[in-house]
Structures are given as C-alpha cells and as structure tokens.
Amino acid sequence: QKINRHPLVYFDNAATTQKPRPVLEAIQRYYEHDNANVHRGIHELSNRATAAYEGARERVAQFINAPSTKDIIFTRGTTEAINLVAATWGAANLREGDVILLTELEHHSNLVPWQLLAQRTGAALRFIPVTGDEGTLDLSDLDALFRDVKLLSITHISNALGTINPVAELCAKARAVGAVTLVDAAQSAGHLPLDVQAIGCDFLSFSGHKLCGPTGIGALYARTALQEAMPPYQGGGEMIATVTFQSSEYHVPPHKFEAGTPNIAGAVGLHAALDYLDDLGRENIHAHDTELASYAKDRLAEFDGIRIFGPAGDRGGLVSFVFENVHALDLATMADQQGVAIRIGHHCTQPLHDKLGVPATARASFYFYNTRAEVDRFIEVLQKGMKLLS
C-alpha cells in the first residue's frame, strides 16, 4: 500500500511483523468452520477446536525441538511467559542471597519481572556488561559473574542492537553452577533455527506476532520436570482437576498453567505462521536478514556524523543509529512522511540506552519480505531528510 503517497517500506519488524495470507486464512477458516471452546465439549466442533489447539502445541514443540509437547505452555507472548516463570518458579525457588543474572541488553520484559521478584524475595540482580557501542557481552570473568547465581535469564538476540548472544555457552556455564536458565527468544524464534535441546535451556519464550503470527499468542518452553514443581500462575477453569469449596487439585502440566479459555484462534494462526516460516527455511531467513542488516549498516556508514550501534560481525536483522545533529524523532517523522516505517526511542531497553549515553536511537529492522531496493530507498529518504533537518 501507499503511505503518504509513497510505497510503504516497513522496517519495524522487530516490533511486529506483517502477516502472510495463509495465516489470515487459517484464522478465518477456524472461525467459519470449527469455532468452539476447547477441552470441554463432546460435540464435533469442540473436538475440532481442541485438535486444532493441541495440534498447534505439537507444532510449537517441533519448531523449537522440545522433547515433549508437554513442555509447551501457551501464553499471550514473551512478556507473559517471563512473568509466569518469575511468579511461579521464581517465587518458589529464590530467596535472599540468591543472584539473578541478566545482561545489560535486556528488554524491560526480561528485567522488570525480575526486579519485582527481587523486591519480594530479597534476591539480587546482576548484569553481564556490554562492551560499548558494539553491544557484545563482556564474558572475561565468567566465574565472578556466575557466583551465587540461581537463575540466568538472557535475550538471544538484542532488539536494540542486534547482538546475537552465545546462549548455549552461557546456559552450559549456568548448568555447571546449578542455575536454572531462561532464554528470551522474542527476536530470534522467527529469524533463525532454534533448538532448545542444543541450547540447553530450562525455559524459552517467544511471541507469535514477531514471527508472522497473530498478536496475543506466544509460547513458553518449560522443561516438564520443572513444571511439575512449579505452583500455578493463575487460577480458574481449564487448570484444575478437582475443586472443592476450600481447595483444588490442579491439572497436569502444561494445562496447570493455562487458566481460562485460551486464545484458540491465535494458536491456529501461530501454527500457520510456523508452517509458513519453515516453508521458507529459517536458515534462509537468517541469511537474508543479516545480509540486509549488513548492507544497511554499510550504506548508513556513508553519512557524516552518524553513530551506528551493534556488533561488527554476525548480527540479527536490524540496525540502530543516531545522528549527531538531528533528533531521532524528527528523522522518524520525516521518514514516515516518505512512507518509511522505522522505530525510534529506547526500544524498551532504557538502562542500555542510559549506558550508551543516548536517550533514543532510530532502528530499522528487517524481515524476509524486505529488499535491498527498500534499503536504498530508505537511504535516499535519509539523505533528503538530512539536507532538510541538519
């Protein structure tokens, strides 16, 4: 479509991706033919809805190579998944003197839930530092970083800088000190092949809407052995086995963590999205995204007075930058007037931006449907804008 009379260039994919037609059609088909509540009825539509919902769970397990379908809990997205872990596993297992190890790259969704938990339990937060504008992790003193750590919770790909973290290596180190691990895969699940067994994590979270699926659905991978010992997250229907006026026995995992009518249509859409991505091939998506990000970075480097963030080598499909003389807000507004959608701000990583000494960055983030020609158009728009604004 045209935005402000210019063909749309959508470079805000780290915030949310566009949705392919098969995803929209799957949701429409479900509502037109199979709509009913799950796990309850013995009628045909309820059976179909249950099969679709549980089929989506199986598909998610396969997508991330989880050992069992039981390891998959549906959530509203990454944020809810992390909050679930903090409120259940965290509240039951952490106490004063324990350390929660994060990185300085974390999205607020992988920071604020742990701050809340730390306030409640007396546990302390520690951060793996990043090295300047490159935004890679400083892992020079792992032993000191991991002292007294009970939980490691880290992002796979930074939404602010594009850094790809060595999650398998860090999870191995955490395991060696007996710590539990969570990987925030919000920016990686739709962009590269993901294997929870190869990573060796206990928990992993992602959002459907960042990988071509609908909003309001996401998943938490949680090793079944850990789920067994975790208290429920929310109470209500679906998550119970028997209820008396005074107390309840809970359903088996993962249903114990899915109170109330779930987002069935969302799960159906997510299933279609995962099929769509695997048809394209996640290796191909990763190669395309990183190539585009590196091309955009090179083209941006043509500007004077620009500061570009993120690692020099392999990076996720995004590039963040600031200009010395032009405010990011003016830049994004001007880009929008020319049909180019980018995001500016701290991208929910305010402490990281404080450390970098900038209140906001501009971020262009790519997906498989973006092209080099769109990057060229973006650069052209910036060139025009810089002449006007500086």
Under the binding rule (CB under 6 A), the answer on residue 165 touching ligand C6P is: no
- The smaller minimum CB distance to ligand C6P, of residues 86 and 386, is found at 86
- Binding part of the chain for ligand C6P, among 73-81, 259-267, 270-278, 283-291 by CB under 6 A, reads 73-81
In the complex, the smallest distance separating the C-beta of residue 202 from ligand C6P, rounded to whole angstroms, is: 17
- The smaller minimum CB distance to ligand C6P, of residues 49 and 335, is found at 335
Under the binding rule (CB under 6 A), the answer on residue 153 touching ligand C6P is: no
- The smaller minimum CB distance to ligand C6P, of residues 49 and 111, is found at 111
Sign, Cα dihedral of 170, 283, 349, 217: negative
Q: CA angle, corner 208, sides to 332 and 72, nearest 5? A: 150
Please state, in angstroms and rounded to a whole number, the distance separating the CA atoms of residues 301 and 296. 9
DSSP 6-72: EE-EE-BTTT-----HHHHHHHHHIIIII---SSS--SHHHHHHHHHHHHHHHHHHHHTT-S-GGGE
Question: For residue 202, what are the contacts with CB-CB under 8 A and spacing of at least 6?
Answer: 180, 181, 182, 222, 223, 226
Under the binding rule (CB under 6 A), the answer on residue 159 touching ligand C6P is: yes
Under the binding rule (CB under 6 A), the answer on residue 289 touching ligand C6P is: no
Out of 111, 118, 186, 285, the only residue in the binding site for ligand C6P (CB under 6 A) is 186
Backbone angles phi, psi at 160, to 5 degrees: -95, -35
Short-list 117, 167, 114, 159, CA closest to 139: 167
Strand partners, 204: 183, 221
- The smaller minimum CB distance to ligand C6P, of residues 150 and 210, is found at 210
Under the binding rule (CB under 6 A), the answer on residue 75 touching ligand C6P is: no
Under the binding rule (CB under 6 A), the answer on residue 77 touching ligand C6P is: yes
Under the binding rule (CB under 6 A), the answer on residue 14 touching ligand C6P is: yes
In the three-class reduction of DSSP (H, G, I as helix; E, B as strand; rest coil), residue 217 is classed as: coil
- Binding part of the chain for ligand C6P, among 32-40, 104-112, 168-176, 334-342 by CB under 6 A, reads 104-112
Pair type for strands 72-75 and 218-222? antiparallel
CA gyration radius, the chain: 22
In the complex, the smallest distance separating the C-beta of residue 369 from ligand C6P, rounded to whole angstroms, is: 18
In the three-class reduction of DSSP (H, G, I as helix; E, B as strand; rest coil), residue 183 is classed as: strand
Any catalytic annotation for residue 348? Answer: yes
Under the binding rule (CB under 6 A), the answer on residue 103 touching ligand C6P is: no
Under the binding rule (CB under 6 A), the answer on residue 79 touching ligand C6P is: yes
Please state, in angstroms and rounded to a whole number, the distance separating the CA atoms of residues 141 and 162. 23
Please state, in angstroms and rounded to a whole number, the distance separating the CA atoms of residues 254 and 187. 24
- Residue 214: half-sphere exposure toward Cβ, Cα within 13 Å: 22
- The smaller minimum CB distance to ligand C6P, of residues 288 and 343, is found at 343
Size of the site for ligand C6P (CB under 6 A): 17
Under the binding rule (CB under 6 A), the answer on residue 88 touching ligand C6P is: no
- The smaller minimum CB distance to ligand C6P, of residues 220 and 375, is found at 220
Residue ranges in 194-233 that form contacts with ligand C6P under rule CB under 6 A = 207
Residue in the shown chain whose Cβ atom is closest to ligand C6P = 159
- The smaller minimum CB distance to ligand C6P, of residues 50 and 159, is found at 159
304 CA to centre of own chain: 33
Out of 220, 348, 362, 382, the only residue in the binding site for ligand C6P (CB under 6 A) is 348
Q: What residues make contact with ligand C6P under the rule CB under 6 A?
A: 14-15, 77-79, 107, 109-110, 155, 159, 184, 186-187, 207, 343, 347-348
* Residues designated as active site: 348
